[in-house]
Structure 1
Amino acid sequence: FELSLFPITPPGVEQKSTWLQIRQQKPDYVLFWSAGVMTPAGIREAQASGYPREKLYAIWWAGSDHDVKDIGAGAKGYNAITIHNSAAKDKVHDDLRKFVYDKGQGTGAPTGIGSLAHTRGMMISMLQVEAIRAAQEKYGKGKALTPEQVRWGFENLDLSADKLKALGFGEVMRPVKTSCANHMGDDWARIVQWDGGKWEVKSDWYQSDKKFIDPLVKEYAAKYAKDKNVKPRAC
């Protein structure tokens, strides 16, 4: 394929000249590598220029509810990659209502429960808690942990499908297993599409091709370590 780049000056509110180029070149697809106001501004320009929203794809930073909600039907067909099943609801959402919001202890409106960004925030919190739990299993339950011990917990997460189901996240994300050498676990993602009112999952799980990704990670990590005079850890 042939790649054409259309850089946009942050914050990205003004994009008319960029979309004029896109309109002239007529690319088969447009990938949004954006965040913040740049994303909805781009979707609105695509709508104004007549570019099909179903041919728009975005990284996960550009795939939250606030990117499309105000545009509504005008963003219908817009696609984004997501690291979790943003269209699914699970026991964790019900428990959040039951034990927090129904008792008047929630912050903000409960209408945000189940939104893509809100669910991602709960995932992050769960991973933090489980990392601390793993560290306490090794270094002592109920003890205050050092930063190094918590790091060990993050590097030894083992969240199986059964464990995630018990936590209420079984329908939301895939199992995660980390190590000193692999802080990501398995890098699976899906494509979600905005139907004008909500996100819908439109693909199975995809995994990045490590024969392309891993050499780049090692190359740029080594460069960063050299530039910053950081001694790489040995796992």
Structure 2
Amino acid sequence: MHKTLQRTLIASLVALSTLGGLLPAAAQAANDQQFIPLATYRVGAYASSGIPWWAGEIDYFRYINEVEGGVNGVKLVWQECETEWKTDRIIECYERYKAGQDGAPTGFFFTHSTPASYALMDRAAVDHIPLIDGAGGRTESTDGRVFPYAFPLLLNYYGQASVGINYIAQREGGLDKLKGKKIVTVYHDSAYGRETQAAMQLLAQKYGFENIQIPVADPGNEQSTQWRQVRQINPDWVFLRTWGVSTPVGIKTAVRFGIPADRLIGDVWAGSEADVIPAGTAAKGYQALAPFPGGDNFEIHRRLKQFILDPGKSNLKDTSYFGKVYYNIGLINAAIAVEALRTGQAKFGNRALNGEETRWAFEHLDIDAARIKALGLEGLLAPLKLSCADHEGGGSARVQQWDGQKWVLVTDWVQADRATLRPLIEAKSAAYAQEKGITARNCSAE
């Protein structure tokens, strides 16, 4: 009996010793990999946008892994789930991968969809997973005191309205010249399309222009009624806040009704090659806001071409998409995410980060001009600094114009009037906090 007990104890100790030897290795494997779920849309109505977008993100992640050895040694791993840009499928993807994969934690989730950002807002707050939606998302989530896990990075929808108005003011000779101007917004009749209305109303009151809003029902294949109305108004400028097929249809119909293309300004999501090429010659002169400018002549493109495209490692099947607007949207989003991981590692150590740590990282992200140049993103990204209270950061865009063959940048960075917009954002975030019973964070204590 004594020998049997002894043998049992020895076997148990051996098992514990073996397990003890395995646990650090497993933990180390998890710490060496940062998992990134990708809710892609390579098929369906928005595939022409999604294919280059995700290729840009994946090419940049591959560049970080293969050229830099990961983020301070932590390799980036990702898994795609096809969503066709349908909100229910994006939610399903989020639920499937929010806990990570194979021991590697999920630090953040790219929604890349304003409807999905709305739908996931409450879940992400419970799960402590930051939602990243550059130049999209819910505008009031700029206020991180109420929305700690939502980041409408770079340029929220109110900021897009303000940049557009400031650009028009530049063209007209000053903000005082806006008084009495007729500015029409033709918008996709959805939460996305309506998102700038409160900001435009505020800016119209401040500068004295006439603010006219005209909806286009999804999908926007027929817009004669809307553009006949625009022609009757005879506006000075028209904002096109459309998405998908409604953009080229809008451009062609506008020109057919006598609205000059160079008086049309597309917002961020109406300013890609997929928006102008189908419009043909009608699009020549069309302008669009570009927090993600098009072009492949930037330093980061030289690096990606050398290390990813030329060796045949690109996610692009058609390399003619290289440097196109949606490809650049993907790579810029990926670069910002990587810089956030670096920021978090500086505090928490060179290991994979969980959602709470990545939230802290994004709130302390500071990409200055020197860092932008070092990353090869000069001209593609404006300085970006976030905080507990400010989840947008930059608030600027360039304006690009279609010359019939390619996008040409016609401005440097045009800044939104963030001071004017902030009280409106805070009022909306306060209303959300009251509705949900949320106590706003005290950012000075963070």
User: Into which bin does the TM-score normalised by the smaller protein fall?
Assistant: over 0.9
State the Cα deviation string for residues 37-95 of structure 1 (Å, max 9, x = none): 11111001012212100111121111111100222322011111111443462121112
Indicate the residue corresponding to 2:282 in structure 1. 74
1:147 deviation in Å?
0.7
Indicate the residue corresponding to 1:34 in structure 2. 242
1:213 deviation in Å?
0.6
Q: For 1:89, which of 277, 297, 301 is the aligned residue?
A: 297
Cα distance in 2 for residues equivalent to 1:135 and 1:211: 28
Structure 2's unaligned 5+ residue stretches are 1-208
Cα distance in 1 for residues equivalent to 2:394 and 2:419: 14
Note the 1:94-113 alignment, pairs <5 A: 94-108=302-316, 109-113=318-322
Cα distance in 1 for residues equivalent to 2:378 and 2:235: 38
Note the 1:133-148 alignment, pairs <5 A: 133-141=342-350, 143-148=351-356
Aligned partner of residue 6 in structure 1, secondary structure: strand
Would you say the 8 A contact 2:249–2:279 is kept in 1? no
Aligned partner of residue 214 in structure 2, secondary structure: coil
State the Cα deviation string for residues 110-167 of structure 1 (Å, max 9, x = none): 21111112111101001111111111111011x2322110111111112121211111
Q: Between 178-187 and 37-46, report the one with greater CA deviation.
A: 178-187
- Are 1:123 and 2:332 matched, yes or no? yes
Displacement over 6 Å in runs of 4+: none
Cα distance in 1 for residues equivalent to 2:379 and 2:425: 30
Aligned partner of residue 12 in structure 1, secondary structure: coil
Indicate the residue corresponding to 1:195 in structure 2. 403
Structure 1's unaligned 5+ residue stretches are none
Would you say the 8 A contact 1:89–1:171 is kept in 2? no
**Structure ranking higher in helix proportion:** 2
Structure 2 length-normalised TM? 0.50
- Are 1:63 and 2:271 matched, yes or no? yes
Q: Relative to 1, partners in 2 of residues 1:92 and 1:59: Cα closer, same or farther, differing over 3 Å?
A: same
Would you say the 8 A contact 1:13–1:41 is kept in 2? yes
Would you say the 8 A contact 2:296–2:322 is kept in 1? no
- Are 1:228 and 2:436 matched, yes or no? yes
Give the superposed CA RMSD. Answer: 1.6
Cα distance in 2 for residues equivalent to 1:128 and 1:75: 33
Based on CA coordinates, which of the two structures has the bigger radius of gyration?
2
Identity %: 39
Query: Number of paired residues?
Result: 234
Structure 1 length-normalised TM? 0.93
Write the letter of the residue equivalent to 1:127. Answer: I
Cα distance in 2 for residues equivalent to 1:168 and 1:183: 24
Would you say the 8 A contact 1:23–1:49 is kept in 2? yes
Q: Relative to 1, partners in 2 of residues 1:89 and 1:230: Cα closer, same or farther, differing over 3 Å?
A: farther
